[in-house]
Structure 1
Amino acid sequence: MSANTKELKSFTSFAEFYPYYLAEHSDKTCRRLHLVGSLLVLATLGTAVFTQNWSLLWLLPVIGYGFAWVGHFFFEKNKPATFKNPLYSFIGDWVMAKDLLLGRIPL
């Protein structure tokens, strides 16, 4: 199945989607930028909760998607999976971050 055909496919589970998601993140710099964005999102969320500065929450999507989209547009040279599969892509970001931190995917 070609990449374009698979892109148009409707995924019925996250387990089915995740291999596709990983294939869309083959560039190490893209993966690293995703991880940096995810860790900064956690740090910003923690800071907002700890300081009760709720105005920081608007930064979460800017940071998370900003780092990821730079990785896709400039390094991976593809469109983020978020555009076609937003929920599975969001879950994939966190599963991939966990897998990167555990060494299951190379940094």
Structure 2
Amino acid sequence: MTTNTSSGPAPRDAKAFRSFAEFYPFYLSEHSNRSCRRLHFVGTTLVLLCLAALIATGNPWWLLAGLLCGYGFAWVGHFGFEKNKPASFKRPLYSFMGDWVMYKDIWTGKVKI
């Protein structure tokens, strides 16, 4: 996994970060459990499939299905395996961004699943 390269320990309070670049190492530390990362990956992949179905069909229920898949899989990972609260409760935008960056980093091999 990617490590924090800044000097000193990273703040543990999700609200303390001044930028996404500071937040992302914390985000990764909150996803240290392999099962949690795998569930995030599956949920995010399902979100993309639901968005494709939304575009293909025009049926707005796919948007709800995408939200349920994305958050459902992530929350099972956090509460069931990681044993922590999702950072989205305190930093929703940074957490949303972090999920997509981690998804890319999994595809590129920077983060292992």
With the length of structure 2 as denominator, give the TM-score of the two structures.
Answer: 0.87
Q: Secondary structure at the match of 2:12?
A: helix
Q: Which has the higher helix share?
A: 1
Q: Quick check: 10-19 or 50-59, which moved more? A: 50-59
The residue that corresponds to 1:89 in the other structure is: 95
Q: Which residue of 2 aligns with 1:59?
A: 65
**Distance (whole Å) between structure 2 residues aligned to residue 38 and residue 61 of structure 1:** 10
Is 1:7 matched up with 2:13? yes
CA 31–8 in structure 1, closer or farther in 2 if over 3 Å, else same: closer
Q: Give the SS at the match of 2:111.
A: coil
Q: Secondary structure at the match of 1:6?
A: coil
Counterpart residue number, 1:75: 81
In structure 2, the residue matched to 1:33 is: 39
Any gaps of 5 or more consecutive residues in structure 1?
none
Unpaired runs of 5+ residues, structure 2, are 1-7
1:104 corresponding residue in structure 2 = 110
Count of residue pairs brought into register by the alignment: 106
Between the aligned residues of both structures, percent identity stands at 58
Q: Shift of residue 16 of structure 1?
A: 0.3
Q: CA–CA distance in 2 between the matches of 1:70 and 1:93?
A: 15
1:87 and 1:8 map into 2 onto residues whose CA distance is 11
Residue number in structure 2 paired with 1:43:
49
1:11–1:23 Cα change, 3 Å:
same
Alignment deviations for residues 38-84 of structure 1 (CA, whole Å, 9 cap, x no partner): 00000001011011122221122211100000000010000101011
**Correspondence for 2:4:** none
Amino acid corresponding to residue 67 of structure 2 in structure 1: P
Structure 1 length-normalised TM: 0.92
